[in-house]
Amino acid sequence: MADIEQLARRAADGDEAALHALLAAVGPEILRLCARFLPHREDAEEACQDTLLAMARGIARFEGRSSFHTWMHRLAVNRARSTYRTMRRRFLEQAAGELLPERPDPRRTSVVAGTRLDLLDAFDALSAELAEAVALRDIAGLEYQEIATVQGVPLGTVKSRIHQARSRIRQRLDG
């Protein structure tokens, strides 16, 4: 952990060797995080690559207000959400004109995959602030205080956002 934080600081200061070492070190963790969010491995790999690219381009903006891992999780969650929206838009564009079922066909979709797609749709319906807060907590496993630091809001606001997000997701999945 300390080595990653040190690599991140060196990379933020412009050390290219540290940046390459950092990206290699965190790549597997980012892929695991994206795979928890996205239903297909190819999509998780795409989100992982997008995250690593965003990290490489934006490392100079890493200020160290929070831990590097917190910053990394935020990037990964946002890139996974973006990948899902892109994937969904492509699917809808390809299927334009066809009559699409309201819910996944259980004969063609596993229960787990269908539930995950429903969950992603529910996430996509949330505002960015709510989606990010609940994803950082429930998917990335960050502590409430870390989320407050990342989002730049008081702890109570984070708790409220997570509660609202969970309630809206639950309503959408039940209804």
What's the predicted TM-score (pTM) here? Answer: 0.70
User: Can you list the domains of the chain with their CATH numbers?
Assistant: 1-100 (1.10.1740.10), 105-175 (1.10.10.10)
Looking at 13-104, list the stretches that DSSP marks H as alpha helix, in order from N- to C-terminal side: 16-37, 41-58, 68-94
**126-159 residue pLDDT tens:** 898 998 899 889 888 889 998 998 888 999 999 9
Cα torsion through 103, 171, 137, 110, rounded to 10: -20
**83-132 residue pLDDT tens:** 888 877 777 776 665 554 555 444 444 444 445 677 778 888 889 899 88
Task: Return the higher-pLDDT residue of 157 and 171.
Answer: 157
Q: Which residues contact 109 (CB under 8 A, 6 or more apart)?
A: 117
* Residue 169 near residue 123, CB atoms below 8 Å: yes
